[in-house]
Amino acid sequence: MLFTVLMKKTRRYIYILLAFITFILWVSLPSKSETNDFSEVVKVSLRDIGNKLLLSNNDSTSLILPVKALSNKTYQIAFNSELAFQPEDLVAITEQSLKTSKLPNNYRVEVLQCSDGEVAYSYEIKVNEEETIIPCQNRTLPTNCYLISVKFLNLHQATFNKHWLLLIVLVFLSLPLVEFIRNRSNSEQQLKASTETYPIGSYEFYPEQNKLVKSATEISLSKKECELLEIFVSKKNQIIKRDELTKRVWEDNGVIVGRSLDTYISKLRKKLKDDASVKLTNVHGVGYKLEIIN
């Protein structure tokens, strides 16, 4: 009983804990507006990078084409004219611009050739400097048409609508209420079962309480006596074979009996002896019958 109570309390605490964790996730995940804001900041920063690259070529007239969001992590800038630049300038300009815009500092930059999409130059920046890769900084990229893409690494975006997460929170919070209603229903059913009675002549039989009541006098029954009497009550005035009685009361529980059945029948007869209309009759060689004379 104590173990059952502890398990119920533990489940309740688990439900509350899961709801709390889900709520924290809901609060911490970026909303749709936050995600849109991030995208806009990235686009402004990439236009700044493009502008500074053109200025490093002494080009103040060429246009930077609209920045494309290839995904929620990858963005791309293009130019309406060809340009040449030093990779070290691209590295320094990109780092400064992203840092100024307070954008994530784990990212990969790729310089693609417009003609065939091949990577002309690329590098990767990580917070852990040992994982940073910046090759060939001093080799000038010749004048050509280039696309520059920036991919933010380890960027955690909300993968589903926050309304769904809120729904999960509500589900977790409702679980204790559901359990309370279910337990209350079970308790009511148990109470109903515990008060359910079966008339046996002038006796009232309470199977869930293991007792007989006659004229306000309670007569206790053992578990086996109660199980036997339930079988007899379900088949009043019918012969029940010995094999059926022993199987249902003893053998189904892994116990094989000898004369136990006769012993318990004798005990039941003594407890029913105060009503002459109730008899437990032995049908020789077959079994027993609960006879109730109306």
Contacts 24+ apart (CB under 8 A), 94-99: 94/49, 94/150, 95/125, 97/45, 97/46, 97/48, 97/49, 97/52, 98/45, 98/150
CB 43 within 8 A of CB 36: no
Q: What is the largest CA-CA distance in the chain?
A: 120
| Residue 239 contacts residue 196 (beta carbons within 8 Å) | no
- Main-chain phi, psi angles of 31, to 5 degrees: -80, 175
Q: Over its length of 294 residues, how does the chain's per-residue pLDDT go in tens digits? A: 434 444 455 666 666 666 666 666 655 555 555 567 888 999 999 999 999 999 988 898 999 999 999 988 999 999 999 999 889 999 999 999 999 999 998 999 999 999 999 999 999 999 888 889 998 877 889 999 999 999 999 765 444 455 565 666 666 666 666 676 777 666 656 555 556 888 999 999 998 889 999 988 999 999 999 999 999 999 999 999 988 988 888 876 555 556 788 899 999 999 999 999 999 999 988 999 999 887
